[in-house]
Structure 1
């Protein structure tokens, strides 16, 4: 994948005013945010965070067990956040991490109180509003002992805007007995370059559930989050649903290191190319026993396009249990014929199979977001991309 030329983007001078009430946004921005999982009415959310270009424009917690702050405010309040900031990701890893370290525009710091069960999701959005904006954000999430949290985060570009670059550093800390569900919806544009850099640690008895959805065009995306299960009984599960239309180049995947006994993980990826390129990576490493991991990479090519599945299993102890399933191909003709025999024409049969393949019910999405995801699938069908 080619490098992003940072000189082509604006990393200064695109500050925005505060927005006290998200419902005052214009209709186009509202629609874009809803498609990223953000409820502008804020009625069923425990908190909200909105980063627009170079500024945090909205930050609010609605739950006493939840702390949400702009990362710059958190750095100032907590003397630089030495326990968490740049502890899992090397600031000198590449030019994108260095650029974000030297010129952080914002990002969120989200932390639960120990034992807090945050019932409603927290929503956040990292939003590109201007043309040719370069956005550097650093996010830190801390789930304290025996607490639970669901974050819905959307990344998006404004209606009618096409050119931009997003660089997001994210560090996740799930403490003993904690549970984090992290759902990300990407709605970028056809000329947007995206370079997330993410890592996390899950301690004893902790759980991390990660959902990822991408159904809109993006110029190029490169991400490979790494989660380390550091405590006995820690668990992680990744679910991804990805569509790459013509012009999109995606180099993506997930990596889990099981660095304690009695750990479990599962990585499930469903990918469709309708003309774009997908490099789908998956890695599970097991260093202790007992440990159990499963990796599943399933890809469909509809028309032209390319999917490259790269599953990796790395066991270094007798007794580890690691497995994988990987396939890349087309819809089986017998499946189409089965549905046609029951009254569907060929296009209807194909659309039905694709909808089932992209099923997101397992993610437990809020009803409003699930409706938007279903709508995107129908739009892809109607456009003839599937």
Structure 2
């Protein structure tokens, strides 16, 4: 039996890699004659830099960078040598024909998990400054492109913090500098001075979110509450985002239509800010990027059984996220599939039409155990479920 194990992260419990390793080790303990291959998944958030860099035989680099609440800390990024990047992958990722590739993960410097004090989880006060620092540090003369994942962010600043790290300055009506350029300070800003134009690597942003920047489907309305934005503040945040977005467009000569493009509302609008200011910036489909980098199609051709899952498997999982996409692809090839998740949305469990035939949905958490304790038991819960499913 050939088993493909492809988990995404179990947020707050275990990484995608740890979940895959636990499942593979337990499976081989039970069935030593079976063959297991692991393909840790990422939606562009936590684990993106490590997973992509490892898959392409690259090197992990550590930086000291600014976290969203202003603290300094260590963040990693990846570096892939030109010789490791096939022309096919360059075409898929829309990369230049030559040069090294840097991998930047927004969650390393602007991730929700970095804001450890719940009282500081306020998108008015948080910054993407560290993202700009890492983009700058990744931009050496041998790097022709940067691939950036933007999942798991805590911020909603249009990328202003990142642009400030790259040299953008804001000023008030009296001409005084306004810093930091966080949403809490936007009310004082009447204009920007752009940073000098310099040669920079191409920037490819892996993104599966199709939301525009503004409106009822925009960044503040849809993702703001997840980041701590209270409901009565959403209209004010939307209004300020529109005003600051217009000022950024004037500063960098951008089109008003950019804000309406799909994906501009992802990660607090950072794709919008970078698309205005960073030459040759493009959004590329996130899961497609990961799938091609990991060789998922080839792994599915090889597999007799697929095991996938994540912390919570719900409707969003079936709308382009990694585990749902793996499930769909496996079903199209007639491969039996097991979905293991901390929680599985009730209507998905009750309606097999949502997932297809030959699929087993297995919640690994005990509903009688408190959530915090269940999250601490993540690895053992994976092992226990594998033992029960494949005795």
Q: Same fold (TM over 0.5)?
A: no
TM-score by length of structure 1 reads 0.27
Q: TM-score by structure 2 length?
A: 0.26
Q: Highest Rg: 1 or 2?
A: 2
Q: Is the helix fraction higher in 1 or 2?
A: 2
Which structure is higher in strand share? 1
